[in-house]
Amino acid sequence: MDFSSTSLRVLRQVAESGSFSAAASQLGYTQSAVSRQAAGLERSAGAVLFERRFDGVQLTPAGLNLLRHARTILDSVAAAERELTGSAVPTELVRLGMFPSAGAVILPGVLTRLATATPHITVTTREGTTPGLLRALRAGSIDIAVLTSRPPHRPSDGESPRLHVEPVEDTELLVGASSTGLFAGRSAVHVDELVDAPWIAAPSPSAEPLLGVWPGLPGRPRTVHTTRDWLTKLQLVAGGFGVTTVPSRMSTVLPPGVSLLRVDGVPPEVRRILMARLPGRPAPGIAAVTRAIASAP
């Protein structure tokens, strides 16, 4: 078998991105180039590595087996490049992926605790949706994923081997509204009052839902502004331009002019924050970062 580092990078990126086109975009290749690399990799392996589906691409069991070795090979190549170029640093690198709002409420405290207790650990971070972070974890692009789940809180992505998953905490969803707007002075709103409300939401493709409109809201919601950026969403709320769903965990970082309201008439919407990593004994740096996250106040 003859595998180049380029073809192994394509394998890893397809596993992370979930499609040839998305992998091509991330790698800076054309889609046809990625398809050729994938086909060549399958010829070299003598096995089908990619399951081509109508909704994207998944790795077959043989592909997942090769990916496990590819992660080790590519990490070794990257370490060799750093040593040869003199850019290697005497620190342990841990790559952390987090869902969007976690960066505001969890990450600063985690990095502060790590800087004090384990200054030899360097943490890099990236943001993503829960499905995207799970793919990145499987692909070896990150070491730890901080995720959210909704009831019944399925602990993994259903792939094999099962991920090591630990709960961090539960957080309730609330509605963020202008402190001087329609719901001023109130601590709660009935779900029926939200049916015709103007919503500020994140883009929500069916495969990777993002926070925005109240879950299960009757009828078709009236979305007036769409953005992934939390600062934009909350500033629009403060200005009275709409309402949005907000995890209660974010109450400490809200800008002036935003109030959080409980939603009556429906059961509470609770989201669980989880940490996930690949199975097996974690490296010391990964273990230290997971401890820092678990001890978040």
CATH 1.10.10.10: which residues of the chain? Answer: 5-84
Q: 0.85 exceeded by the pTM?
A: no
Query: What are the tokens at 261?
Result: 């309201």
Cα 293 from Cα 279, distance rounded (Å) = 18
Burial class (CB in 10 A: 0-12, 13-18, 19+), 64: middle
Name the residue with higher pLDDT: 36 or 96. 96
Domain 170-268 sits in CATH 3.40.190.10: yes
Pick the CATH number of 5-84 from 1.10.10.10, 3.50.50.60, 1.20.120.1690, 3.40.50.150: 1.10.10.10
Query: Cβ–Cβ contacts within 10 Å for residue 96, how many?
Result: 24
Q: Determine the distance from the C-alpha atom of residue 2 to the mean position of all C-alpha atoms in its chain, rounded to a whole number.
A: 34
Task: Report angle CA 24, 29, 35 to the nearest 5 degrees.
Answer: 65
Smallest Cα–Cα separation from 123: which of 105, 109, 135?
109
Q: Are 199 and 221 in contact (CB under 8 A)?
A: yes
pLDDT tens-digit series, residues 150-180: 887 765 677 778 899 999 999 999 999 999 9
Q: What is the pLDDT of residues 227-265, one digit of tens each?
A: 989 999 999 999 999 999 999 999 989 999 999 999 999
Provide mean pLDDT across the span 84-109: 81
Instruction: Return the CATH number of 92-169+272-294, one of 3.40.190.10, 2.30.140.10, 3.40.50.720, 3.90.1640.10.
Output: 3.40.190.10
Which tens digits make up the pLDDT trace of 52-89?
888 788 888 888 888 888 888 887 887 777 777 765 55
